[in-house]
Every structure is written in structure tokens, then in C-alpha cells.
């Protein structure tokens, strides 16, 4: 009876109580209870010789080499993913056929562009208020508060506008792209599309990449306008700078190359965010847990890539155009 009750309790218990179930079987003298502590001690003893003979500088070098190898592998895979997407799309166009459905493109445009305008505008408006306040009080000490409009306009047009928009789209739209494509990959919908003779890159990836590529400059412009408008309110309320004078200061300080720089960054960020999100989605492994892991990796990788390319662009631009 005791053995039967133990077997029934073991079948009804969840996996977290497997150890207690094994001990129950051991009490009935049917199975020996495993000694988990001895197993761990044995593993540690096997690792001790390798740890004792390890050289810390060598371990550090091996770790750096491993990270560098993985980084280069990811960069190469991402590059060929983008190249294959363009190749598959333009090959379809050369044969006089539409590479993807127009409804799919407009749906992604609606979600990534129109639906993101309130979020981008609100965050940029608040950051514009904060930036104008912080810089204004510091410049007021030297009697140069008239520089506030130019600082905010140049800072957002060249730097903060594309950067903030890219970070928000990576978190909002990039995660959605990865989750959608990852779910399709896990449920074998992507394989079904391939079985029907449809290229998944031009059918699933191309409309998403094109939508984000075209919408990033528009959303960056919304960010710039919201931030400059917020700074004009601060200048009027705290520093007695009238709106017409504010616009004159912005016009005098903002150059055409500042606007072009912001637009180029926006195009680049949109392409990178969409490519990373789609790549992570189509390479999901491990079921539902893999979808969550890939979504998190997509957001982190996209934000890091946007910031890294922004820094690289600024360094190269400042090196060749220091003025």
C-alpha cells in the first residue's frame, strides 16, 4: 500500500517536486535515492585540475576571441541576410512581377508610421522641454540664453531626433516584427510559404524593411518639430524669447548639412532596425521560449547597433568635416 501511494503521489506531483518523489520511492526500497550533493562534488572535482592549470591572461584572451568571433559571425550573417533580401526582391521586379503584396506594405506602414507618431511626438516634446531648461539656466549665467534655440535645433536635427526615434522604433516595432516572424517560424508557416514556391525574404521581410526605411525620416522630422516647439515654450516662459525671435535664431543656426545628416541617419537606422528584427525572427529556435529570447535579443541588438552606428557616423563626419 505504501509503495502504491508513493507511485500515485509521484505521478500527481509537478516537476519541481521530482526529488521528493524519488525519496518516496527510496523509502519503499524500490529505487535508491540519488545523492545530488555527491554529484555536484564530483563535477567540481573534475573541473579543479583544469581551473588550477588555467592561466588568467589566456582565459581573458580566449574570452575576447570568442566574443569577437561571434560578433563577426553575426555581422556577416546580417550582411548576407540584407543582400539576399535585396537580391530576391529585385529579381522579382526584373521579371515584371510584384515582390510583395501592397496591402502588407501599407499595413506595416500604418503600424510603424502613423501609430508611432503620438509616442515619438510626446517623448520628443518632453525631452525638448528638459533640454531647453537645463541648457537655458546654464547659459543664462553668462548672458547667452539666446543660444538655446540653436542648441536644441542642431542637437535634435543632427543627433537626438534620429537616435530617439530609432530607439523607440526598435523597442516598439522591432520587437513586434521579431515576435510575428518568430511565431510563424515556430509554427512552420515559413516552411509552408517556401513549399508554395514563395520566397520568404521578399514576401515577409521586404515590405517590413521598406516600410521602416521610408518612415524613419518622417518620424525623425516629427521628433524634431516636437522638440523645437517645446523649447520655444520654455524660451518664452522662462527666458523672455518671443516666438518670432526664436524662429530667427533657429534659422540662423541650422544649416542644410545638419538636416541632410539627420535624414541620412534616419534612413540607415530604419534599415538596420528592420533587418535585425526580421533576422532574429526568422532564426528562432526552441519554440515559444525561443520567440521570447529572440525578441529580447532583437531589441537589445537593434538599440546597441543604432547607438554604435550613430557614434561611428559622428566620428567619421567630424574627422572629415571638422567645421
Per-residue confidence (pLDDT) for residue 53, from 0 to 100:
59
Between CA 192 and CA 200 the distance in angstroms is 10
**Banded pLDDT at 46 (limits 50, 70, 90):** low
Going by pLDDT thresholds of 50, 70 and 90, the confidence category of residue 77 is confident
State pLDDT tens for residues 176-229: 999 999 999 998 898 898 888 888 898 999 999 999 999 999 999 999 999 999
Q: What is the pLDDT of residue 27?
A: 43
Has residue 268 got a pLDDT over 60? Answer: yes
pTM over 0.85: no
Q: Please state, for a pLDDT cut of 90, what percent of the chain lies above it.
A: 50
* Mean pLDDT computed over every residue of the chain: 83
Q: Taking the CB of residue 20, how many other CB atoms lie within 10 A of it? A: 11
Residue 206 near residue 99, CB atoms below 8 Å:
yes
Q: What is the 3-state secondary structure (H, E, C) of 256-310?
A: HHHHHHHHHHHHHHHHHHHHHHHHHHHCCCCHHHHHHHHHHHHHHHHHHHHHHHH
Q: Which of 80-89, 115-124, 262-271 has the lowest mean pLDDT?
A: 80-89
Distance (Å, whole) CA 78 – CA 73: 9
Q: State how far the Cα of 137 lies from the Cα of 226, in Å rounded to an integer.
A: 21
Rounded Cα distance, 22 and 27, in Å: 9
Q: How confident is the model at residue 38 (pLDDT cuts 50, 70, 90)?
A: very low
Helix axes 243-253, 206-238, angle to 10 degrees: 130
In sequence order, what DSSP letters do the residues of 42-84 get, joined into one string? Answer: HHHHHHHHHHHH--HHHHHHHHHHHHHHHHHHHHHHHHHHHHH
Residue 6 has pLDDT above 50, yes or no: no
Cβ burial of 196 (10 Å; 0-12, 13-18, 19+) is: exposed
Q: Does position 41 have pLDDT exceeding 80, yes or no?
A: no
DSSP state of 141: T
- Distance between first and last Cα of the chain: 89
Q: Tens digits of per-residue pLDDT, 88-124?
A: 888 888 888 888 888 889 999 998 888 999 999 999 9
- Residue 20 confidence class, pLDDT cut points 50, 70, 90: very low
The rounded Cα 223 to chain-centroid distance in angstroms is 19
* Residue 92 CA to its chain's centroid (Å): 29
Of the two residues 301 and 10, the one the predictor is more confident about is 301
CB burial of residue 96 (10 Å; 0-12, 13-18, 19+): exposed
Amino acid at each position: 500500500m505504501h509503495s502504491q501511494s508513493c507511485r500515485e503521489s509521484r505521478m500527481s506531483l509537478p516537476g519541481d517536486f521530482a526529488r521528493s518523489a524519488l525519496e518516496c520511492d527510496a523509502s519503499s526500497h524500490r529505487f535508491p535515492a540519488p545523492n545530488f550533493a555527491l554529484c555536484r562534488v564530483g563535477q567540481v572535482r573534475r573541473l579543479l585540475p583544469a581551473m588550477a592549470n588555467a592561466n588568467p591572461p589566456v582565459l581573458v584572451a580566449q574570452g575576447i576571441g570568442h566574443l569577437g568571433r561571434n560578433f563577426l559571425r553575426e555581422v556577416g550573417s546580417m550582411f548576407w541576410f540584407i543582400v539576399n533580401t535585396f537580391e530576391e526582391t529585385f529579381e522579382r521586379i526584373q521579371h515584371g512581377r510584384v515582390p510583395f503584396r501592397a496591402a502588407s506594405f501599407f499595413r506595416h506602414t500604418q503600424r510603424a508610421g502613423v501609430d508611432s507618431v503620438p509616442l515619438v511626438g510626446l517623448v520628443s516634446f518632453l525631452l525638448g522641454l528638459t533640454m531647453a531648461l537645463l541648457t537655458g539656466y546654464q547659459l543664462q549665467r553668462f548672458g547667452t540664453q539666446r543660444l538655446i534655440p540653436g542648441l536644441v535645433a542642431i542637437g535634435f536635427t543632427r543627433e537626438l531626433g534620429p537616435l530617439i526615434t530609432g530607439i523607440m522604433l526598435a523597442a516598439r516595432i522591432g520587437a513586434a516584427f521579431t515576435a510575428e516572424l518568430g511565431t510563424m517560424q515556430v509554427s512552420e508557416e515559413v516552411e509552408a510559404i517556401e513549399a508554395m514556391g514563395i520566397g520568404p525574404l521578399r514576401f515577409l521581410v521586404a515590405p517590413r524593411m521598406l516600410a521602416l526605411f521610408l518612415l524613419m525620416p518622417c518620424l525623425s522630422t516629427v521628433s524634431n518639430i516636437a522638440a523645437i516647439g517645446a523649447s520655444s515654450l520654455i524660451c518664452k516662459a522662462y527666458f523672455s524669447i518671443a516666438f518670432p525671435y526664436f524662429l530667427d535664431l533657429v534659422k540662423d543656426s541650422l544649416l542644410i548639412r545638419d538636416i541632410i545628416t539627420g535624414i541620412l541617419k534616419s534612413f540607415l537606422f530604419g534599415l538596420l532596425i528592420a533587418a535585425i528584427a526580421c533576422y532574429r525572427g526568422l532564426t528562432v529556435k526552441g519554440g515559444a521560449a525561443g520567440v521570447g529570447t529572440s525578441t529580447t535579443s532583437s531589441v537589445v541588438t537593434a538599440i546597441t547597433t543604432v547607438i554604435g552606428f550613430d557614434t561611428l557616423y559622428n566620428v567619421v563626419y567630424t574627422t572629415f568635416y571638422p567645421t
